[in-house]
Amino acid sequence: MRSELCNRCGSCVGLSGGKIAFGDREGRYLPYLKEELTDEEHERLLNACSGKYFSFPEFNRHFYGDASHYHTYLGSYESLRTGFCTNEVIRRNSASGGLISSVLIYLLEKKKIDGAIVTRMSHDEPWLTEPFIATSKEDILEAAQSKYIITSVNEILAESRDFKGRLAYTGLPGQVQSVRKLQKAGDPAVANIAYILGPFYGNTLYFSSVKSFLRSYGEKDYHTINKLWFRHGEWPGNMRVEMKSGHSFELKKFHANYLIPFHIVKNSLYCTDLSNEFTDISGGDAWAPDYEQRGKGFSLVIGRTKKGEALLKDMMDEGWLSLEDITEEEAITMHSHGYDLKKRGSFIRIKFRKWTGRAIPDYGYRLKGFPLNRYFMEMAISFLFLVLGTRPARWFVEQLSPAFVGRIFEKSRTAWKRSTHSIKRKNLQ
């Protein structure tokens, strides 16, 4: 498979019995074959792969056939709400309103699950991520907050298969889609997964983003990283790196976003799922002036399945969550930039890719009929990613202060969003 279509979900590694592994995790982070697969193994792994093929209509019918609502951008759902976890410790240590962490802790304490598949920064290599099975509140809090570099959660499928008890699973859209493919096929590797949760998804960065960030501060050896956060502290958080030497570097989350165009994983640009449509419950930051001005972090919460909705209602009734209903229009407007990026931009980029004769992902549906100026806008974005992703561009930005670049990036992004607002919002509902 071409690397642009591999989302590094980890299923091929987790299901291969050691025959496939990831190489160059600080670089391209691609799976490679260590030992030949049997025809049966190859067929199983091919079925689990969501990078090349995942039919949204087919899996919507299979898992959400009785859903109360459906929207092309939002997916199937039972409810749309905004709010936060009422436990201040959980909320303060989470990326937005503490939704996913709170749900996992609730499930554990109510003995509805025995463990949760989550991701933390590695204990042995704290500059990389690692999946693990959390079995306590402390474990879950360790896994809280966003990780913007590549994660391969499904590497853990061999371990989770042998886990004694029921599991909750937390992953990004491509990882969740692979689990759904395995569930639909009745694969024993996912038989004990009882709940699927997931955050909203914009993009993933190569580890080169961390190396570049350090070089901008004059640090060349990432092996001396002691601790790495991408959203440290109070909402919306800061990118923070602590070195073994005692030095630390910190930059506002919105300023650290300058790393995106320089280090984005290309597959991110072909993913059409912003709100993690194939979960039981998904959630992300509630991006609206009213919530942003209040600080602390608020979540946009989507209850997708009947059991996910029942879980949310139980948590509200017991005072774990403070949530208020919102409309479809409010939910889409709150993430209008993201939906335009994923549901319009991705399909335009896929079309551009097809025109060049390269392999494209098959999602079982296509969105089209976008205005001509939206195509021109996407051409400008694609050109920007192409230029800024080059070594000279990366080298140049590393010579500048991250704080300075971050401020310029945020101002430029705000100006860009303002100038393209009418194009992106047109017919968005």
pLDDT for 235 equals 84
Rounded average pLDDT over 149-177? 97
pLDDT for 92 equals 84
pLDDT for 354 equals 93
R_g (Cα) of the chain, nearest Å: 21
Give domain limits for the chain. 11-205+269-334
pLDDT for 421 equals 60
Q: Is the pLDDT of residue 291 over 80?
A: no
Nearest 5°: the CA angle 354, 358, 359 is: 90
Q: Is the pLDDT of residue 351 over 80?
A: yes
Rounded average pLDDT over 73-87? 96
Nearest 5°: the CA angle 297, 135, 99 is: 20
Q: What is the 3-state secondary structure (H, E, C) of the chain?
A: CCCCCCCCCCHHHHHCCCCEEEECCCCCCEEEECCCCCHHHHHHHHHHCCCCECCHHHHHHHHHCCCCEEECCCEEECEEEEEEECCHHHHHCCCCCCHHHHHHHHHHHCCCCCEEEEEEECCCCCCCEEEEEECCHHHHHHCCCCCCECCCHHHHHHHHHCCCCCEEEECCHHHHHHHHHHHHCCCHHHCCEEEEEEECCCCCECCHHHHHHHHHCCCCCHHHEEEEEEEECCCCCEEEEEECCCCEEEEEHHHHHHHHHHHECHHHHHCCCCCCCCCCEEEEECCCHHHHHHCCCCEEEEECCHHHHHHHHHHHHCCCEEEEECCHHHHHHHCHHHHHHHHHHHHHHHHHHHHCCCCCCECCCCCCCCCHHHHHHHHHHHHHHHHHCCHHHHHHHHCCCHHHHHHHHHHHHHHHHHHCHHHHHCCCC
Enumerate the β-bridge partners of residue 384: none
pLDDT for 414 equals 83
pLDDT tens readout for residues 198-244: 999 999 999 999 999 999 999 999 999 999 999 998 888 899 999 99
pLDDT for 424 equals 52
pLDDT tens readout for residues 310-339: 999 999 999 999 999 999 999 999 998 899
Q: Given CATH 3.40.640, say whether it is the number of domain 11-205+269-334.
A: yes
pLDDT for 426 equals 58
pLDDT for 1 equals 45
Q: How confident is the model at residue 415 (pLDDT cuts 50, 70, 90)?
A: confident
Rounded average pLDDT over 137-149? 95
Mean pLDDT of the chain: 93
Q: How confident is the model at residue 131 (pLDDT cuts 50, 70, 90)?
A: very high
pLDDT for 323 equals 97
In Å, what is the CA distance from 375 to each residue of 37, 345, 369? Answer: 42, 8, 10
pLDDT for 234 equals 81
Rounded average pLDDT over 12-35? 95
Name the more confident of 89 and 250: 250
pLDDT for 309 equals 98
pLDDT for 94 equals 80
Q: Is the pLDDT of residue 290 over 80?
A: no
Rounded to whole angstroms, the Cα distance separating 74 from 303 reads 11
